[in-house]
Structure 1
């Protein structure tokens, strides 16, 4: 009895292409050989699922398959008036003359469903797999190897120097297995970088903030700034520095792919939450002298 590919995939005969793809993905995942090593029944089921999908996912093959089922009887068609000429009209001249050559109607069905003529299978590349991997801030700068597990398989992922958050890494051949001799799909990994408590990075440039008080911002000062990998450095803050002012420490960023970055420092001016009477009087006198309304 001919296989009913619709039943194998669990879809109706008027199923859309999307319905067929979804059914295949769910079943292929459920019966994949990697999940049932040594289970011959699961392996056979997986092959049936792949065979059904290869036919129903191809509009031309699906139309031929539906036509054959109608001629085969039991599916709403009538085979009393069926002739080998009819079969030749459906599939072309390759089937004509088979009867005179000694092959019977069963031989034609065997050839059709066996894939030797009417259903020649073409290699199909396996589907890609998407995954996400979070790496430390330091590794994103210097590169390295990070272990991750995908579908039960442990992989060592090479992280390139200077990896940015959102970067995609493609591991070829690590996706789903192909069908009919087709190549396996790829594993596409999206990199996420763990935020650093003090620094941010854009390429080879490092960004940080430095807090100064209102006196330092008003009169100017020298402050110590912690760099990413070059220790403490001194930064001169000129008088009248405003909140949010950005200063550049040239060459104090990180070295990535032949480029030495800079370190940018954003100034945050801290205003005291509480003033004692003496400090308040001094500020009021300053405002009066400077002609500042308050």
Structure 2
């Protein structure tokens, strides 16, 4: 004899509200629509349904409890396995009228959903200048398109006939007998793939598929400020499919940033090498920006190695185009490995001028 209390996981003195609450939890876990193809889940749900019908009905529960305690027999008329899930679904709907899947979730009649073509995944490589200014890139690819000969029907001259397997409904019915009743499911017809019709004669160009493969070129507009690994999606421009909607084109962006350039959000970072005397004396230097333009930068006298300067609004625009980052320039001071006689002479004189600096700086009385 089945233990309905154990099946639902409730104590023998559980109230109807407690039983309903537990039942709701089990339905979310074992309902066949959530476990398609899982026979064990279907059997488990049938047992849960049977236990629920008995324990939430006062008369059935009293008779069942009496039988468990050795009293009168339990009448099988209260639970008919032949009911299948018709009764169960009505209970399920009562509990979950606001279930996120919507009311169609409980409809055991298959709906004819249109097939969808596959997506085309492409990749485009951009330079740093492309990111700053925006650009247009041409991409070549192959795409499935509706056959012009048969207008995407797959039939010669577009002539079709009613599918003999599904009789034009686009779905086929499957019945499965179990100890708990007859389960009826409907699936898309494998012969016409849900269309309800088949070609009288197959199209000689697409061989019945309704699509042909063609090479295409796409001129893709890249907006300024795009990020590495961003994906640009073109809805409905992917592969076509017979009697369905086309997929999408997904273009993944790859940005090549050569050293010493770096990017951090809207800001750019680079390095500029200057001779040591320029760093000491200061003055104007030329800095090449990400777009290839040259901008003047005024160095302060006594600029130190790795000192940073900022060129405002020479970074990357944001995607709205309203703001633009800055260009951070790190100064790298180049020291000569060899000196001309004249350079050595001048530096020796400079050294003599500063020979007492260490004594003055670190002297005993300082």
What TM-score do you get using the length of structure 2 for normalisation?
0.41
What TM-score do you get using the length of structure 1 for normalisation?
0.49
